[in-house]
Amino acid sequence: MNARTIATEAKLLLIGIPVLLWTILPVYHMALFAISPKDSAFAGNLWPNHPTLNNFAVVLQQKHHYLNFFWKQMGNSLVIAVATGVITLLIATFAAFAISRLKVRGGRLVMNLALFTYFIPAAFLAVPMYRTMGLYGLLNSQWALILAMVTLASPYAIWVLKQASDKLPEELDEAAYIDGASALQLFRLVYLPLMMPSLVAVGTYALLLAWNEYLYAFLLLSKDTEVTLAVGLGNFLAADDSPWELLMATGLIYALPPAAIYYTFKRYMVGGLTEGAVKN
Amino acid sequence: MSTAAIIATTKAPTASTGRAWAATQFWGVVLVTPYVLVFLVFVLYPVCYGFWIARRPETFAHLFDDPIFARSVANTLVFLVVGINLKMAMALMLSNFFVQARRWIQWLAMLFILPWALPSIPTILSIRFMLNPEWGIVNSLIFRLTGDDGPNWLNDPGLALALAILVHIWKSLPFWTLILISGRLAISKDLYESAAVDGATSWQMFRYVTWPSMRTLYLTCTILSMIWTLGDFNSVYLLTGGGPADLTHVLATLGIRYLRLDSVDLSMAAIVAALPLVLPLVYFMMKRLSK
């Protein structure tokens, strides 16, 4: 190793170490609180002196009044995320197939409207959506959140699926039609199998979007037994004497499934997202 | 649906292919209908309803008289101008760092996307606790190192807004870095090799090789990031709650503030008032994508 390579490595480390600290600190802090007894956590220790799993036991056994409905809320998050994923997948797959393969009239308009919806920040749509959900009588029903999340997830889902579908060769459809296949057979036997990777990416995207959602969840749902875990976590902020160590333990449990899914499907997610978000 | 099918049939090019074409169009209409319904019921109607609620000029006069509105607009602009440029510059720099072929850098890249992969609520709340003036870990450290009490981070409007911007950057930096990395990897290696043969410095390589090929991507990312940042509710709301004294609100949280104050018309008006900022950006992105 000569002086020049050492200098290059040193420069890289000079970037790498701050990047590592910046990235990991809030996550480390969360984990530190989650495994520390209350006194030790609040003493400002940087290292868990007496690591314990007690906080997790308290959370899982719902032994604190903030956590009375932990399992219920976890279940709500799961049901809403899975429902959003499935419904978005159905709606978006149908729409993308109709627009891209069947070349339905007005397909371009529908695609543009969907894209427009995708680009309008969701936070701006929240209040109008909240009011109309009230008019529809859906407020405080989990359907309100599921439908809202489907509305937010499908535009991007349709767009990604349409992009992927446009890449399938035209000859496939022609061959299928010559063999006497109907549009539905084309959908089932040709389109679905070839689109599998994109379908996985899109379903995961919608699922994570719904699981992670906070704003819409707290607007549309209010009963403690109906809200998602995200809202349950936000409720810890209601009081100054909140049990932080329990909040962080709950937060860690809440954050694990999406992180696991993200890293498992990273190949699909990053590919789909980078292609989807920005096209040159 | 049947009328659409009839219209489709009458416009079919020839009689023999016409029936097949009509069947295709029929299924096309059937399959696209669920999304169209979702759009009409949960996007178009709410938007029209929102405009209708915010239809009176007095509402806007009332809104513009509220000092919190002016403050929120100013905060939003700071968020956009400072936050996004800082974030995108960091992402561009880091994209250059992460393409270096080192085992440890690849591992770091895996960790680096953690803020993006984790949900916002627990991580932002964790940051909020770190900044607690009495027992937060940041001020504990400051006290241990200097013997002085640290600042009351979230109780100072300027500091609190700056921290909300940092939270936003922390959360979304990995995403933009990933995108710029993929743009960076698309540049031919030959260009760098021939530049190296010509004795180019790393700055010259960036200036004359990397930047020209990434300029368009960088601009698109910046615009898209502006749109998403305009709608970033969590970074501000979960960190500062808009406080202290409602001085750190942005346009994305202002609507919720008015909703909490039970003035739905102001809430809608605040959103409508944000549209002149949002729509040109959306128009730009639509143009980009439909090319």
The pLDDT tens digits for A89-123 are 999 999 999 999 889 999 999 999 999 999 999 99
pLDDT of residue A249: 92
Q: For residue B227, is pLDDT > 70?
A: yes
Rounded to an integer, the average pLDDT of B135-159 is: 86
- Burial of A244 from C-beta contacts in 10 A (0-12 / 13-18 / 19+): buried
pLDDT digits (tens, 9 = 90+) for B154-187: 888 999 999 999 999 999 999 999 989 988 888 8
Rounded Cα distance between A168 and A37, Å, is: 57
Q: For residue A172, is pLDDT > 80?
A: yes
The answer to whether the CB atoms of B286 and A116 lie below 8 A apart is: yes
Rounded Cα distance between A216 and A202, Å, is: 20
Rounded to an integer, the average pLDDT of B254-271 is: 89
pLDDT digits (tens, 9 = 90+) for B117-131: 999 999 999 999 889
Q: Is A27 a domain residue?
A: yes
CATH number at residue B169: 1.10.3720.10
Q: For residue B11, is pLDDT > 50?
A: no
Contacts of A119 in chain B (CB under 8 A): 227, 281-282, 285-286
The answer to whether the CB atoms of B102 and A212 lie below 8 A apart is: no
The answer to whether the CB atoms of B97 and A12 lie below 8 A apart is: yes
| Confidence tier at A272 by pLDDT (50, 70, 90) | low
Q: Is B105 a domain residue?
A: yes
Contacts of A132 in chain B (CB under 8 A): 42, 45-46, 49
Q: Which of A19, A108, A222 to mutate to test the interface with B (most CBs of B within 10 A)?
A: A19
Rounded to an integer, the average pLDDT of B67-79 is: 93
The answer to whether the CB atoms of A122 and B115 lie below 8 A apart is: no
pLDDT of residue A279: 47
The answer to whether the CB atoms of A116 and B282 lie below 8 A apart is: yes
Whether B18 and B99 map to the same domain: the answer is no
Whether A99 and A51 map to the same domain: the answer is no
Please provide the average confidence, as pLDDT, over all residues in chain B. 87
Q: Please tell me the total count of domains within chain B.
A: 2
Whether A8 and A97 map to the same domain: the answer is no
pLDDT of residue A269: 64
User: In this complex, how many residue pairs, one in chain A and one in chain B, have their CB atoms less than 8 Å apart?
Assistant: 284
Please report, rounded to a whole number, the percentage of residues in chain A having pLDDT higher than 90.
Answer: 50
The answer to whether the CB atoms of B137 and A27 lie below 8 A apart is: no
Domain that holds residue B12: 1-53
Q: Are A19 and B112 in contact (CB under 8 A)?
A: yes
Angle formed by the axes of helices A3-34 and A244-264, to 10°? Answer: 130
Looking at per-residue pLDDT, the higher value among A87 and A48 belongs to A87
Rounded to an integer, the average pLDDT of B84-102 is: 92
Domain that holds residue A16: 3-60
pLDDT of residue B34: 96
Rounded to an integer, the average pLDDT of A182-192 is: 87
pLDDT of residue A181: 81
Q: Is B240 helix (H, G, I), strand (E, B) or coil?
A: coil
* Residue B51 to chain A, least CA–CA distance (Å): 9
Give this prediction's pTM.
0.89
Contacts of B53 in chain A (CB under 8 A): 131
Whether B6 and B88 map to the same domain: the answer is no
Q: For residue B3, is pLDDT > 50?
A: no
* Tokens linked to B131: 């900044």
Domain-terminating residue out of A14, A35, A60: A60
Rounded to an integer, the average pLDDT of B16-39 is: 86
Whether B108 and B41 map to the same domain: the answer is no
Q: Where are the alpha helices (DSSP H) in chain A?
A: 3-34, 38-42, 54-60, 70-96, 107-119, 122-135, 142-166, 170-178, 183-185, 192-212, 215-220, 229-235, 244-264, 266-277
| Confidence tier at A190 by pLDDT (50, 70, 90) | confident
Rounded to an integer, the average pLDDT of A136-145 is: 93
* Residue A223 to chain B, least CA–CA distance (Å): 17
Looking at per-residue pLDDT, the higher value among A273 and A180 belongs to A180
* Residue A152 to chain B, least CA–CA distance (Å): 9
pLDDT of residue B14: 47
Please report, rounded to a whole number, the percentage of residues in chain B having pLDDT higher than 70.
Answer: 94
pLDDT of residue B17: 64
Whether A92 and A38 map to the same domain: the answer is no
* Tokens linked to B270: 């605040």
